[in-house]
Structures are given as structure tokens and as C-alpha cells.
């Protein structure tokens, strides 16, 4: 999305703002002869993922806006592991047996029992 024809004070103020990651909405608007909005329709909703600016004969701001589905492509930084949880909550040992649970045999409805946990 490119915005051009902006007043220089607005242009400078916009360049100083941190807008990456902020919500963005794009509307299709119909106005009357006096500039009063008559109808507005939301046509896109997302987040600002990149910015740019060009200066010269005409100053313009460029914004790259991505939809919510691009967030799903981003890797999730936390894992359900003891190491990941210790980084966020030092001393909390709730996930200390997760690695053993992944390899543990479960015998549902059987008298046979799985091997015991190794407590550390």
C-alpha cells in the first residue's frame, strides 16, 4: 500500500512512528462533494509487516500489510520442554518428565505396567 501527497509534517511524524506489527485496516470509502464519508466498507484487515519511504518530486510512504495467515508461517518460539519452560519460569519443574513421557509405553486397560520414572 502506498500513500502519497501527504503534508510534510505528517510525512515526518509517520517516519518516526514504530508501526511494524501494528494492526492495519483498509477501507473503501465513498464521500460526498463536501468530503463527508457516506459509506465505508472494510476490505482488508491485517498487520503492518514492513515499511518504506521515497522522497523526491513526490514523497510517498510504502506499507506492506500481511493478513493473519502469515502469522501461522512464523515459528512458535516456545516448546513444551523443561529447557524452554526454565527459561521463562526458573525453578518451576513441571515439564521435567516430558522427554520420558514421549518414550513411555502406555497399556490401557491392562494389568501390565510401564517402567517407572527416573527421578532426577
pLDDT at 114: 65
Q: Which tens digit of pLDDT belongs to each residue from 10-56?
A: 777 887 888 888 999 999 999 999 999 999 999 999 999 888 888 87
**Which region, left, alpha or beta, applies to residue 102 given φ > 0 means left and ψ of -120 to 50 means alpha?**
alpha
Q: How many angstroms separate the CA atoms of 56 and 4, rounded?
A: 11
Comparing CA positions, the residue from 32, 102, 26, 95 lying closest to residue 66 is 26
pLDDT of residue 79: 80
Between the CA of residue 113 and those of 32, 58, 90, 104, 109, what are the distances in Å? 77, 76, 33, 11, 10
Question: 71 in helix, strand or coil?
Answer: helix
Predicted confidence (pLDDT) at residue 106 exceeds the cutoff of 90: no
Check residue 9 and give its pLDDT.
81
pTM higher than the cut 0.75: no
- Percent of the chain's residues with pLDDT above 90: 28
- So where are the chain's domains? 2-73, 77-114
pLDDT at 115: 64
Amino acid at each position: 500500500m502506498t500513500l502519497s501527497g501527504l503534508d510534510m509534517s505528517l510525512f515526518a511524524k509517520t517516519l518516526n512512528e514504530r508501526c511494524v506489527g501494528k494492526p492495519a485496516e483498509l477501507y473503501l470509502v465513498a464521500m460526498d462533494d463536501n468530503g463527508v464519508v457516506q459509506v465505508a466498507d472494510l476490505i482488508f484487515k491485517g498487520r503492518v509487516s514492513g515499511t518504506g519511504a521515497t522522497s523526491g518530486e513526490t514523497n510517498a510512504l510504502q506499507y506492506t500489510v500481511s493478513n493473519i495467515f502469515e502469522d501461522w508461517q512464523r515459528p512458535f518460539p516456545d516448546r513444551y520442554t523443561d529447557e524452554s519452560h526454565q527459561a521463562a519460569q526458573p525453578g518451576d519443574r513441571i515439564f521435567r518428565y516430558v522427554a520420558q513421557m514421549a518414550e513411555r509405553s502406555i497399556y490401557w486397560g491392562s494389568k501390565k505396567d510401564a517402567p517407572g520414572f527416573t527421578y532426577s
